[in-house]
């Protein structure tokens, strides 16, 4: 009798292991098959899921971007511009007196905590970093000021271009430039959000169009992350594919030598549904 029950328990364990292991292999196999199907990596068949859906964009800088400088009126009534010719539009302030700053509020805090007018700013300029020595001005309210205009993020609307088999997306088709300096916005990361388009301004000759929409910047509306901003567009990864792509049918991309002049369509979603126009 004891031998009989031991055999039954052994059989039950074997069936359980086979069922669990088989299910795991089936799921993994399906995932791998899908990845191969829509893989946009190097190969003869490069497939992507086309986009057209609007997204909200929020990008952050590495440090704080310099827009320009201005004069500060000191306690003696004399206007001084301490940072002129020391910092340039497009520089990124990474640290104040050796203390790293991540955003505009961090920079303001460090300047407010100064105990003397001597300041060393660590800047990212081009591909390198440099230290510059400047002097803060004590204004009439007895607060230290550097006389530097800065920005630490970029926000707006865009359109998804494609999604590949690794959930990586491309969007916009052009880079995001700072509106004041005209320079490509160097990002340390960011997020894409769900958005609701309210109006579209049609472009004219010499005058680009635009979109107006509502973006709620909270965790519930996050769709994915932004990794880089380039002259060809922004790139990142989508975490909530089903919330953005109702149609997930992949299409083969054309090779450069296959491109010909001819009829084309634009995919655009402005009324809650992507249509071809």
Q: Do 75 and 139 meet the contact criterion of CB atoms below 8 Å apart? A: yes
Instruction: Specify whether 88 is located in the same domain as 169.
Output: no
Owning domain of residue 80: 71-146
pLDDT band at 229 (very low <50, low <70, confident <90, very high): very high
pLDDT of amino acid 218 = 85
Number of H helices, E strands in the chain: 3, 20
Confidence of residue 17 (pLDDT cuts 50, 70, 90): very low
The verdict on residue 14 lying in a domain is no
pLDDT at 224 over 80: yes
- Within-domain flag for 267: yes
Dump pLDDT digits (tens) for 22-32: 444 544 554 45
Residue 226's SS3 state is strand
Residue 94 pLDDT greater than 90, yes or no = yes
Asked if residue 66 is part of any domain, the answer here is no
- What domain count does the chain have? 2
Top pLDDT among 107 and 23 is at 107
Confidence of residue 9 (pLDDT cuts 50, 70, 90): low
Q: How confident is residue 38, by pLDDT bands cut at 50, 70 and 90?
A: very low
Instruction: Tell me whether residue 233 is in a domain.
Output: yes
> Which domain-ending residue is among 116, 146, 176?
146
Question: What are the residues whose beta carbons fall under 8 Å from the beta carbon of 249, sequence distance 6 or more?
Answer: 49
Asked whether the CA dihedral 227, 232, 233, 239 is positive or negative, the reply is negative
**Is residue 73 a contact partner of residue 101, using CB atoms and an 8 Å limit?**
no
Tokens of 19: 């069922």
What is the DSSP track for 152-199?
EEEEEEEEEEEE-TTSEEEESSS--B-TTT-PBPPEEEEEEE--EEEE
pLDDT, one tens digit per residue, over 111-143 is 888 888 889 999 999 889 999 999 888 888 888
Token output for 63: 């440090």
Residue 231 lies in a domain: yes
| End position of a domain, from candidates 146, 171, 198 | 146
Q: Which CATH number does the domain housing residue 111 bear? A: 2.30.42.10
State residue 4's pLDDT score.
47
Residue 19 lies in a domain: no
Pair type for strands 267-269 and 144-145 = unpaired
């Amino acid at each position: 009798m004891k031998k009989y029950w031991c055999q039954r328990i052994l059989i039950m364990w074997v069936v359980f292991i086979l069922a669990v292991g088989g299910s795991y292999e089936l799921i993994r196999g399906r995932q791998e098959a899908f990845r191969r199907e829509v893989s946009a990596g190097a190969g003869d068949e490069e497939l992507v899921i086309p986009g057209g859906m609007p997204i909200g964009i929020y990008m952050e800088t590495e440090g704080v971007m310099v827009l320009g400088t201005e004069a500060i009126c000191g306690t003696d009534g004399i206007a001084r511009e301490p940072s002129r010719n020391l910092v340039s539009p497009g520089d990124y302030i990474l640290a104040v007196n050796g203390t790293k700053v991540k955003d505009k509020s961090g920079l303001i805090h460090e300047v407010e905590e100064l105990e003397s007018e001597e300041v060393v700013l660590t800047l990212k300029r081009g591909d390198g970093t440099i230290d510059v020595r400047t002097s803060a001005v004590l204004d009439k309210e007895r607060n230290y000021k550097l006389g530097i205009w800065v920005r630490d993020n970029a926000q707006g609307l865009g359109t998804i271009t494609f999604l590949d088999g690794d959930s990586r997306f491309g969007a916009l088709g052009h880079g995001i430039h700072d509106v004041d300096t005209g320079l490509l916005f160097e990002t340390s990361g960011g997020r894409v959000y769900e958005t609701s388009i309210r109006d579209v301004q049609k472009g004219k000759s010499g005058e680009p169009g635009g979109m107006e929409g509502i973006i709620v910047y909270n965790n519930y509306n996050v769709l994915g992350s932004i990794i880089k901003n380039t002259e060809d567009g922004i790139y990142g990864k989508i975490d909530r594919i089903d919330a953005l792509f109702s149609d997930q049918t992949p299409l083969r991309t054309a090779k450069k030598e296959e491109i010909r002049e001819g009829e084309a369509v634009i995919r655009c979603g402005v009324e809650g549904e992507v249509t071809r126009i």
